[in-house]
Structure 1
Amino acid sequence: MTDLSITAANVIAGANTPTDGGIAGETITAGQQIYRSSVTNKIMKADSNSATVEARRAIGTALNGAALDQPVDFQKDGDITIGATLTPGVAYYLSDTPGGICPVADVGAGEYVCLVGLAKSASVLSLDYQFPGVSN
């Protein structure tokens, strides 16, 4: 699977977009896909082939880096400058690399499908999280 190569320093929240925050349950880098653990209530990296069902459902994109037990903000919807080169019009999904994003063509067999968003331009991703709970 070919994940986007995200430059964390170039991840920028869109104007007037919904954000949220929490405490990191592991080291997180800006641009990674995250979920909130129901056990610890901490922010963790989402993963499309995790054994944990809730980890397969990304809820946002980290806007800053955070070490364990440090605050992390994330964007849940709207446009985001993702810090990577995108192909306009392509759908991007949660990958099997914890926190990663990949184009739809790279979602492998047996991975759970979680849409992250659609590329509006070569740098802007329109976030639209959708998790039907089915594997590819």
Structure 2
Amino acid sequence: MVDITITAANVLPGAGAVTEQGTAGETITAGQALYKDSTGNWMKADADSAVAAARDAKAIALCGASANQPITVQRSGEITLGGMTAGVTYYLSGATAGGIAPIADVGTGEYFDVIGIAKSTTVMKLLFGYSGVSA
């Protein structure tokens, strides 16, 4: 599976961005797809995780943080990420926790979890949608 390449320093909220403050449950880099664990901490989502909640991304990290540090996440709207192809729908990666990949790179045993659709090579419209169905 090939994830898009995201430069953390280029991750920015865009039009209609809905953001939230929280606490990181592990080390997180800007641009990674996240879910909220049972304790309320933000963790890296993973399409082939044994934990069902981890396969259901809910936000993208807008900044980096280590465990127990504050973090800002974006839950909807447009976001600048880079490394995309306009018009392509992107999904949660199973190859790398927190990664984002095109549908062609969703592998066997990974769950389909839409992250968003690229409006350009740099901007994505977030459309989180977990299917509960694996490839």
TM surpasses 0.5: yes
Distance 2:17 2:8 in 1: 19
SS at the partner of 1:76? strand
Runs of 5+ unmatched residues, structure 2 = none
Offset, 1:15: 3.3
Alignment-derived partner of residue 90 in structure 2: 92
Distance 1:108 1:16 in 2: 32
What are the equivalent positions in structure 2 for 1:42-57 lying under 5 Å apart?
A: 42-57=41-56
What are the equivalent positions in structure 2 for 1:116-131 lying under 5 Å apart?
A: 116-131=115-130
Alignment-derived partner of residue 19 in structure 2: 19
Alignment-derived partner of residue 37 in structure 1: 37
What's the TM-score, normalizing by structure 2?
0.96
Letter in 1 for 2:36: R
What are the equivalent positions in structure 2 for 1:104-123 lying under 5 Å apart?
A: 104-123=103-122
Offset, 1:115: 0.2
- In the alignment, is the contact (CA less than 8 A) between 2:117 and 2:127 conserved in 1? yes
Query: Runs of 4+ in structure 1 displaced over 6 angstroms?
Result: none
- Identity among equivalent positions (%) equals 53
Distance 2:9 2:114 in 1: 24
State the aligned residue count: 134
Alignment-derived partner of residue 135 in structure 1: 134
Offset, 1:85: 1.7
Note the alpha carbon deviations across 1:82-116, whole angstroms, 9 max, x for none. 1x221011010000110000011100111011000
Runs of 5+ unmatched residues, structure 1 = none
What's the TM-score, normalizing by structure 1?
0.96
The structure richer in strand per residue is 2
